[in-house]
Amino acid sequence: MPRPTVLVVGAGIAGASTAWHLARSGRVHVVVLEKEKSGDCHSTGRSAAILRTAVEDAETHDLAKKSLAFYQNPPRGFSETPLYSARGVILAADATADADFQTWVNHPETSVGGKAISPQEAQALVAPLADGVTSAYLFPDEGTLDVSAVHQAFLMGAQKSGAKIHYETALTGILSSDGVFRGAQSSHGFFPAEHLVVAAGGWAGTLLDEEGFGLPLVAKRRHLLVTEPSPQVDQNWPVVWIAGKECYFRPESGGLLISACDEAEVLPDQGSTVDFTVLDLLAQKVQRWIPDFSSLGAAHYWAGMRTFSPDGRFVLGPDKRLQGLHWAAALGGHGVTCAPAIGQKVAADILASCFDLEKPEPIKSHHEGQPVIETEN
């Protein structure tokens, strides 16, 4: 039987991981189309690189735990560079967010490996943290990822296993007949294929609108600021995340990386456009939580988009509307953490549909109680 071809649209971390898992199976041809010169121009190259597994949704948590295991023990030869630093993550809340926070951070289905610590213990770990934390949990095995190393390892590993990556090649449409995907039109011609994986980040929702296979996804822009280097910053501090969309911060390049957890709905083409008015909000959060850092200048300030389904769950797996169409999309603020397990799940679904293999567990993806996509399994 000739090997089927799988087209992957998008060479961000979701497409890269999916391509890697598919290519190393040796059972399919893998072709990746990326509209930019490289795969790190959008969300993947703009994240805060935090690896955190305690999240509100149990299935996302499960994917994050599986991915943590991958990062801790990657396959031999995957990367020369360590993929992550277990500097620890402190999740904390103040009185306004505490009730909600407690329901998920303390729940066995959404939070494994955390240890309750007192506000004073949190301050002992990160001295400049202001008063006002009412509860805190430390996740000592979690921390920060070297996103570039992970991303490059997936792309180079996929290529070593035979995947072809076409940069500056945009998917512009798809061809289907009799309810079956047949191939894709691109800025560089037609690619016949049996399967298509949409891993197009902020563009995933509208990419196939014209063909009737759109999804109601929303891109939200968030800003990150890295301060100038300062001897006040201990580069071994854990990540601190104040729940309730308050703020988070961690050491970076001698300074502190800080987010005010701002989010504004944007069109994907504006996902990286910096809004300087967010600096006021950032200054307020710094004043509230780490006032000692209020006078530090900025070394870098940038924006990126996080893409969400209506209920915030990932959209992963086969789409029942069109045979051969698959999704690796709507990864919100957890895409770099969960990338290894996302790619594995999407690849396993494709391989199971081509060959007589066991299908992985379906992943829930709902829109107001209705499936966003009706998965086949």
Ligand X SMILES: Cc1cc2nc3c(=O)[nH]c(=O)nc-3n(C[C@H](O)[C@H](O)[C@H](O)COP(=O)(O)OP(=O)(O)OC[C@H]3O[C@@H](n4cnc5c(N)ncnc54)[C@H](O)[C@@H]3O)c2cc1C
Binding site for ligand X (CB under 6 A): 9-15, 33-36, 39, 41-44, 46-50, 170-171, 199-203, 207, 222, 224, 304-306, 331, 333-337
Least Å from the CB of residue 355 to ligand X: 26
Cα separation, 195 vs 318, whole angstroms: 10
Choice between 98 and 263, CB closer to ligand X: 263
Least Å from the CB of residue 220 to ligand X: 8
Residue-wise DSSP of 62-122? HHHHHHHHHHHSPPTTS-SS--EE---EEEEEETTTHHHHHHHHT-TTT--S-EEE-HHHH
Cα separation, 325 vs 299, whole angstroms: 43
Choice between 36 and 134, CB closer to ligand X: 36
Give the length of the chain.
Answer: 377
Least Å from the CB of residue 173 to ligand X: 9
Choice between 38 and 123, CB closer to ligand X: 38
CA atoms within 13 A on the CB side of 306: 20
Largest Cα–Cα separation, the chain: 66
Least Å from the CB of residue 2 to ligand X: 25
Least Å from the CB of residue 75 to ligand X: 21
Residue-wise DSSP of 220-243? EEEEEEEEPP-TT--TTPPEEEET
Cα separation, 312 vs 58, whole angstroms: 12
Choice between 41 and 352, CB closer to ligand X: 41
Choice between 41 and 112, CB closer to ligand X: 41
Cα separation, 140 vs 143, whole angstroms: 8
Choice between 12 and 324, CB closer to ligand X: 12
Least Å from the CB of residue 110 to ligand X: 15
